[in-house]
């Protein structure tokens, strides 16, 4: 039943062929002896593709979910596998065709598969307790849906904590029409985080012992160094602010490299997955963050990456040196390695506690240099979502998003801020300013003709309710900001090192629905780290009464406000979120929006598909803690 997956070791995109009988028989041999032999991981180079059967206009796939003994990073592990591997095999669909996927559950617990980013009838969305009852042990569930979109997506379990155990894989939909960019090779690069601990233990530790996995907390040593470099007064003022809030400026990721082994296509840095190329070829890398809890900063030292897709949707190409990818997001980049050498694909965890790495090389076994790890960044004022005036700067304006690149990680932006604040038209000049800033880095793209759009949320008054969201919210952002031109904590865009930001994402063409939103829904991302409570508007899933109701085919503006100190990737099933960044009607559309601390974003939505859809933070343990709602479209 299992030898039905294909190695596409060479990544040749347009000439995908069943590889020789040799690799098939190797596969069969490995599978044949079953549990005695370690299961097959993904190949050292290339992707592992699920076998497809064709029946008229329908493609058929068979997937089997097992608990399988196999080595991960050379150590014994027992992940949940799909057709015997972690990640699950690449499912390759074609826009315009239909698909049937038969999923057999060999586990002794329920399972499910959610097709992340795919718009489909809601009963096929695969969320137990929302769209179907789940797949019982021993049962086979048939997913069946039309494929009417293209791009890079992924699929994963939506049952309990199974994603943490390896139950995820890539999903690629080839477009019906040719793509507006060319490439010679095509590889999926799937990032994930693996722990040898039981995920339920991880969750319990987060619940009972705050900061359990953080071994980069501030120490007395850091305090002394700060006093030395910043002076007594400044240091004390900063510490007092954090102290009063009982927040840690070093709390970037809840679960860290102290337990995680970071994987790329199922392989640890030591196991060195390799993407092969010939010098001069264009290589498309479909980067998918299939982690449970980890944001990654991805770069290939020595190569410029041109981002051509975000969340499976084509965007105007943006050449970058690095991009941050939130959990569940995807970015497709094209690189053009000209030299006959090995490049390192380096994905550093946002908190710098570890990394995934692989090699882009002309032959297997080659290895590029592993870049030096950067020090852990610290959060600064911007993460508090505060009026800068609150910081003893005595400034009246709070809605400014200037100078933020200079503000990340330190609190010395005051001078620049003060100058901006004195400008009576600060609000308008701001967006013009950030346009100029980005154009400096947009490397040949003709953005100048692009009239920057005014931020629809500028000047918006935010309400946190009468009780600041109650005990479930340890803080509120008194004045949340537009941070779409901010690359995020620990990253900085410079002349020589362009980092992707949300304001760079510009759709290829305006999406069909350009109606003005008739209705607004505002939701706040809330949490209480001390007890590991995560919620929307201070209320966990168990504490709210019923779903959020969207009207079928209405035009809606969803406003998200991050009232926490963490970054959250917010995922809406079943419909696109058109992110209102500076590109006006060229809004990029996404299935997952990452919000920085103190950030506010908005997205336009047309709920085209009726039914109940999940809406949640894609950090697995945040979701499970209750940061989850159902959106009901009727």
Partner 1 sequence: MTIQTIKHPSRWLATACVLALTPALAMADGRGDYAREQGWDSPVPDMQTGMLLFDRLEYAAGDDEDSVDWEFKGWYGGDTNRLVIKGEGEHVVSGGDGGEIEALDLLYGRLIAPYWSVQAGVGYQLEYGPGPNHDRGFAVVGLEGLAPYWFEIDTSLRISEDGDASVDFEAEYDFLLTQRLVLQPRIGTSFAFQEVEEFGVGQGVNHVKAGLRLRYEIQREFAPYIGVSWKKQLGDTADLAREEGHDTEDLRLVAGVRMWF
Report the candidate in 604, 573, 575 with the shortest Cα–Cα distance to residue 588.
604
Using the rule CB under 8 A, is 530 a contact of partner 1? yes
Main-chain dihedrals φ then ψ at residue 427, nearest 5 degrees: -55, -45
Task: Report the distance separating Cα 70 and Cα 68, nearest Å.
Answer: 6
| Sole binder of partner 1 in the list 88, 90, 124, 130 (CB under 8 A) | 130
| Sole binder of partner 1 in the list 4, 83, 216, 434 (CB under 8 A) | 216
| Sole binder of partner 1 in the list 190, 368, 612, 619 (CB under 8 A) | 612
Using the rule CB under 8 A, is 543 a contact of partner 1? yes
Tokens of 138: 């021993």
Using the rule CB under 8 A, is 195 a contact of partner 1? no
Burial class from Cβ neighbours inside 10 Å (0-12, 13-18, 19+) for residue 35 reads exposed
Q: Which stretch binds partner 1 (CB under 8 A): 77-85, 95-103, 372-380, 467-475?
A: 467-475
Contact between residue 520 and residue 457 where contact means Cβ atoms under 8 Å apart: no
Using the rule CB under 8 A, is 473 a contact of partner 1? yes
Is the bond preceding residue 383 a cis peptide, omega within 30 degrees?
A: no
- Could you tell me which residues come within 8 angstroms of residue 396 by beta carbon, excluding any fewer than 6 positions away? 389, 421
Distances (CA, A) of 609 to 9, 301, 618: 38, 43, 21
Query: Please, what is the Cα angle at 550 between 544 and 556, to 5 degrees?
Result: 120
Compute the least distance from the CB of residue 251 to partner 1, in Å. Answer: 13
Contact between residue 173 and residue 149 where contact means Cβ atoms under 8 Å apart: yes
Using the rule CB under 8 A, is 198 a contact of partner 1? no
Using the rule CB under 8 A, is 518 a contact of partner 1? no
Report the candidate in 161, 166, 214 with the shortest Cα–Cα distance to residue 193.
166
Q: Which stretch binds partner 1 (CB under 8 A): 214-222, 405-413, 557-565, 599-607?
A: 214-222
| Sole binder of partner 1 in the list 126, 472, 488, 597 (CB under 8 A) | 472
Using the rule CB under 8 A, is 136 a contact of partner 1? no
The number of beta carbons lying within 10 Å of the beta carbon of residue 427 is 16
Q: Which stretch binds partner 1 (CB under 8 A): 124-132, 336-344, 449-457, 489-497?
A: 124-132
Using the rule CB under 8 A, is 419 a contact of partner 1? no
Q: What is the DSSP letter of 413?
A: T
Task: List the strands of the sheet with 114-116, edge to edge.
Answer: 91-94, 168-174, 151-156, 114-116
Task: Report the distance separating Cα 414 and Cα 389, nearest Å.
Answer: 10
The number of beta carbons lying within 10 Å of the beta carbon of residue 538 is 23
- Give the nearer residue to partner 1 in terms of CB position, either 211 or 301: 211
Using the rule CB under 8 A, is 541 a contact of partner 1? yes
- Give the nearer residue to partner 1 in terms of CB position, either 502 or 628: 628
Using the rule CB under 8 A, is 208 a contact of partner 1? yes
Using the rule CB under 8 A, is 224 a contact of partner 1? no
State the number of binding residues for partner 1 (CB under 8 A). 56
| Sole binder of partner 1 in the list 256, 528, 592, 604 (CB under 8 A) | 528
Compute the least distance from the CB of residue 129 to partner 1, in Å. Answer: 4
Coil vs helix vs strand at 242: helix
Compute the least distance from the CB of residue 293 to partner 1, in Å. Answer: 16
Task: Report the distance separating Cα 549 and Cα 628, nearest Å.
Answer: 14
- Give the nearer residue to partner 1 in terms of CB position, either 187 or 541: 541
| Sole binder of partner 1 in the list 34, 133, 180, 279 (CB under 8 A) | 133
Contact between residue 153 and residue 183 where contact means Cβ atoms under 8 Å apart: no
Main-chain dihedrals φ then ψ at residue 231, nearest 5 degrees: 90, 160
Using the rule CB under 8 A, is 629 a contact of partner 1? yes
| Sole binder of partner 1 in the list 533, 558, 559, 603 (CB under 8 A) | 533
Compute the least distance from the CB of residue 632 to partner 1, in Å. Answer: 5
Using the rule CB under 8 A, is 221 a contact of partner 1? yes
| Sole binder of partner 1 in the list 19, 158, 506, 591 (CB under 8 A) | 158
Contact between residue 458 and residue 480 where contact means Cβ atoms under 8 Å apart: no
Q: Which stretch binds partner 1 (CB under 8 A): 90-98, 125-133, 300-308, 411-419?
A: 125-133
Please state the three-class secondary structure of 344-404 as a single string: EEEEEECCCCCEEEEEEECCCCCCCCCCCCCCCCCCCHHHHCCCHHHCCCCCCCCCCCCCH
Using the rule CB under 8 A, is 546 a contact of partner 1? yes
Using the rule CB under 8 A, is 154 a contact of partner 1? no
Task: Report the distance separating Cα 397 and Cα 405, nearest Å.
Answer: 18
- Give the nearer residue to partner 1 in terms of CB position, either 278 or 551: 551
Q: Which stretch binds partner 1 (CB under 8 A): 142-150, 318-326, 398-406, 468-476?
A: 468-476
| Sole binder of partner 1 in the list 246, 374, 428, 585 (CB under 8 A) | 246
Using the rule CB under 8 A, is 547 a contact of partner 1? yes
- Give the nearer residue to partner 1 in terms of CB position, either 196 or 215: 215
- Give the nearer residue to partner 1 in terms of CB position, either 60 or 521: 521
Report the candidate in 22, 61, 64, 63 with the shortest Cα–Cα distance to residue 43.
22
Binding footprint of partner 1 on the chain (CB under 8 A): 127-131, 133, 158, 203-205, 207-209, 212, 215-221, 240, 243-246, 471-475, 528, 530-533, 540-547, 611-612, 614, 616, 623-626, 628-630, 632
């Amino acid at each position: 039943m299992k030898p039905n997956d294909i190695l596409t070791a060479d990544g040749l995109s347009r000439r995908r062929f069943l590889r020789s009988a040799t690799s098939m028989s190797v596969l069969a041999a490995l599978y044949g002896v079953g549990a005695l032999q370690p299961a097959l991981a993904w190949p050292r180079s290339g992707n592992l593709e699920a076998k497809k059967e064709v029946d008229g206009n329908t493609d058929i796939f068979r997937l089997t979910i097992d608990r399988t003994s196999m080595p991960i990073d050379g150590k014994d592990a027992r992940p949940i596998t799909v057709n015997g591997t972690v990640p699950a095999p690449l499912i390759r669909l074609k826009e315009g065709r239909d698909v049937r996927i038969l999923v057999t559950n060999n586990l002794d617990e329920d399972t499910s598969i959610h097709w992340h980013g795919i718009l489909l009838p809601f009963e096929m969305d695969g969320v137990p307790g929302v769209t179907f009852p789940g797949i019982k042990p021993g049962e086979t569930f048939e997913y069946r849906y039309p494929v009417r979109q293209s791009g890079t997506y992924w699929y994963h379990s939506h049952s309990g904590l199974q994603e943490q155990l390896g139950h995820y894989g890539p999903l690629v939909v080839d477009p019906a029409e040719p793509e507006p960019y060319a490439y010679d090779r095509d590889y999926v690069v799937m990032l994930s985080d693996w722990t040898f601990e039981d995920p339920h233990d991880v969750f319990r530790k987060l619940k009972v012992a705050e900061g359990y996995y953080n071994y980069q907390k501030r120490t007395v040593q850091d305090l002394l160094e700060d006093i030395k470099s910043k002076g007594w007064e400044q240091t004390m003022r900063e510490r007092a602010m954090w102290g009063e809030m009982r927040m840690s400026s070093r709390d970037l990721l809840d679960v860290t490299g102290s337990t995680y082994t970071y994987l790329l296509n199922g392989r640890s840095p030591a196991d060195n997955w390799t993407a092969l190329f010939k010098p001069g070829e264009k290589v498309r890398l479909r980067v998918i963050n299939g982690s449970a809890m980890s944001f990654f900063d991805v770069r290939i030292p020595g190569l410029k990456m041109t981002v051509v897709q975000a969340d499976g949707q084509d965007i105007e190409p943006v050449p970058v040196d690095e991009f941050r990818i939130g959990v569940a997001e995807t970015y497709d980049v094209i690189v053009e390695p000209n030299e006959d050498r090995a490049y390192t694909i380096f994905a550093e965890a946002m908190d710098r506690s570890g990394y995934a790495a692989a090699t882009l090389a002309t032959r297997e076994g080659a290895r590029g240099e592993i870049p030096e790890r950067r020090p852990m960044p610290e959060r600064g004022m911007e993460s508090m979502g505060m009026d800068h005036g609150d910081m003893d700067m005595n400034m009246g304006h709070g809605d400014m998003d200037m100078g933020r690149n200079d503000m990340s990680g330190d609190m010395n932006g005051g001078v620049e801020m003060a100058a901006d604040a004195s400008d009576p038209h600060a609000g308008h000049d701001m967006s013009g300013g950030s346009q100029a800033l980005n154009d400096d880095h947009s490397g040949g793209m003709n953005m100048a003709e692009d009239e920057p759009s005014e931020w629809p949320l500028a000047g918006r008054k935010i309400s946190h309710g009468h009780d600041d969201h109650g005990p479930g919210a340890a803080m509120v952002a008194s004045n949340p900001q537009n941070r779409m031109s901010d690359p995020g904590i620990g990253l900085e865009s410079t002349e020589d090192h362009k980092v992707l930001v949300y304001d760079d994402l510009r759709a290829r063409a305006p999406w069909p629905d350009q109606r003005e939103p008739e209705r607004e829904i505002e939701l706040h991302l809330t949490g209480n780290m001390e007890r590991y409570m995560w919620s929307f508007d201070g209320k966990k899933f168990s504490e709210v009464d019923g779903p959020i109701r969207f009207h079928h085919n209405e035009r809606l503006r969803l406003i998200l406000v991050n009232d926490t100190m963490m970054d959250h990737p917010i995922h809406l099933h079943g419909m696109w979120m058109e992110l209102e960044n500076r590109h006006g009607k060229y809004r990029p559309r996404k299935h997952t929006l990452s919000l920085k601390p103190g950030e506010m974003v908005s997205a336009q939505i047309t709920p085209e598909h009726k039914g109940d859809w999940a809406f949640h933070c894609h950090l697995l343990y945040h979701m499970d803690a209750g940061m989850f709602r159902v959106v009901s479209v009727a």
